[in-house]
A = this chain, B = another copy of it.
Amino acid sequence: MTSKQPLDYSQDPKHDSSLLIVRKDAPFNAEPCPVDLVKNYITPEKYFFCRNHGPLPDIEEAEHTILVQGIGCDKPAYFNMKQIKQDYEKASVMMVMQCAGNRRDGLHKVKHTKGVIWGPGALGNAIYSGCRLRDILATVGVTTKIKNLNKLHVAFESVEQCEEDKCYGSSIPLSKALDEFGDVLLAYEMNYSTLTRDHGFPIRVVVPGYIGGRSVKFLKSITIQDYESMSYYQRRDYKILPESVSDEKQADAYWCKVPSIGEYNVQSYVCSPSDGIHGGAKPNQTVQGYALSGGGRCIQRVDVSGDDGKTWTTAQLHQPAAEGNNCRVWGWCLWSATVGTKKNVRIVSRAVDSSGNVQQEYPVWNYRGVMNNSWRTVDSNSMEMSNI
Chain A residues within 8 Å of B, Cβ to Cβ: 144, 149-153, 173, 175, 179-181, 240, 242-244, 258-259, 261-266, 294-295, 297, 300-301, 303, 312, 314, 324-328, 350, 352, 354-362, 364, 370-371, 373
Contact = CB atoms under 8 A, between A and B. Distances in A.
B151 A300 contact: no
A242 to B, nearest CB: 5
13 contacts: A150-B326, A151-B324, A152-B326, A240-B300, A242-B303, A244-B314, A259-B300, A262-B354, A262-B355, A295-B295, A303-B364, A360-B360, A361-B361
A352 B328 CA distance: 22
B181 A326 contact: no
Given A294-B356, A352-B364, 7 more contacts: A152-B326, A153-B326, A261-B356, A264-B356, A295-B295, A295-B297, A360-B360
Contacts of A153: 326
A171 to B, nearest CB: 10
Closest 6 CB pairs of A and B: A360-B360, A150-B327, A265-B356, A356-B371, A263-B355, A173-B326
B354 A357 contact: no
Contact of A325 (B150, B242, B264, B355): B150
A175 B314 contact: no
Question: How many copies of this chain does one complex carry?
Answer: 2
Contacts of A243: 303, 312
Contacts of A258: 300-301
B354 A263 contact: yes
Given A259-B354, A295-B295, A297-B295, A327 B364 contact: no
Given A175-B327, A358-B360, A180 B144 contact: yes
A355 B265 contact: yes
Given A151-B326, A327-B150, A360-B361, A352 B295 contact: no
B297 A356 contact: no
B373 A301 contact: no
Contact of A357 (B150, B179, B266, B303): B266
Contacts of A295: 295, 297, 355
A299 B181 CA distance: 23
Nearest to A267: B356
Contacts of A240: 300-301, 352, 356
A104 B18 CA distance: 51
Report which residue of A173, A265, A358 has the largest number of chain B beta carbons within 10 angstroms of its beta carbon: A358
A150 B322 CA distance: 10
A350 B175 CA distance: 28
A353 to B, nearest CB: 8
A243 B313 CA distance: 9
A264 B357 CA distance: 8
Contacts of A242: 301, 303, 314
A370 to B, nearest CB: 8
Contact of A181 (B179, B297, B350, B358): B179
Contacts of A312: 243-244
Nearest to A373: B356
B352 A173 contact: no
A144 B240 CA distance: 36
A358 B364 contact: yes
Contact of A297 (B144, B263, B325, B352): B263
A326 B153 CA distance: 8
A306 to B, nearest CB: 15
A312 B373 CA distance: 19
Contacts of A314: 242, 244
